[in-house]
């Protein structure tokens, strides 16, 4: 939910048994009622997003793709909370299960 505390990002794994890439979902948080409003469905960049995190500014999201042995980084619009285009990908990694920003 951080750094702006306005949006929540969730992930789905194995895409209900289909062969397509897994997804990230963005939700707007109503802090008055606790309700979530769906905002966006976006590809996770591959299979089995084991972990994801945002940088301090909230303008980048890194996703650890366990079954693709990769980490992918997406742009993120801080105002709308929406995830944008892929900006980086590092493959050939073994046992990718977390990604942590050092900023």
E strands of the chain, at which residues?
A: 7-12, 23-29, 36-43, 49-54, 60-65, 70-76, 83-90
Q: pTM for this one? A: 0.89
Model confidence pLDDT, tens digit, residues 72-92: 999 999 999 999 999 999 999
CA 99/CA 63 separation, integer angstroms: 7
pLDDT given for residue 20 in this prediction: 63
- Tell whether 71 is covered by a domain: yes
Our count of domains for the chain comes to 1
- Tell whether 100 is covered by a domain: no
pLDDT given for residue 28 in this prediction: 96
- Tell whether 41 is covered by a domain: yes
- CA nearest 26: which of 84, 85, 66? 84
Model confidence pLDDT, tens digit, residues 4-48: 789 999 998 876 555 667 999 999 999 999 999 999 999 999 988
- What sign does the CA torsion over 70, 76, 81, 82 have? negative
Structural domain containing residue 27: 7-90
pLDDT given for residue 15 in this prediction: 63
- Tell whether 63 is covered by a domain: yes
């Amino acid at each position: 939910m951080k750094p702006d505390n306005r949006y929540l990002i969730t992930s789905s794994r194995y895409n209900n048994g289909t062969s397509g890439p897994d997804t990230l979902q963005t939700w707007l948080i109503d802090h008055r009622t606790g309700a979530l409003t769906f905002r966006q469905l976006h590809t996770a960049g591959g299979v089995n997003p084991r972990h994801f995190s945002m940088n301090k500014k909230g303008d980048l999201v890194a996703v650890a793709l366990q079954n693709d042995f990769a980490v992918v980084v997406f742009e993120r619009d801080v105002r709308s909370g929406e995830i944008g285009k892929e900006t980086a990908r590092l493959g050939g990694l073994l046992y990718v299960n977390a990604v942590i920003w050092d900023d």
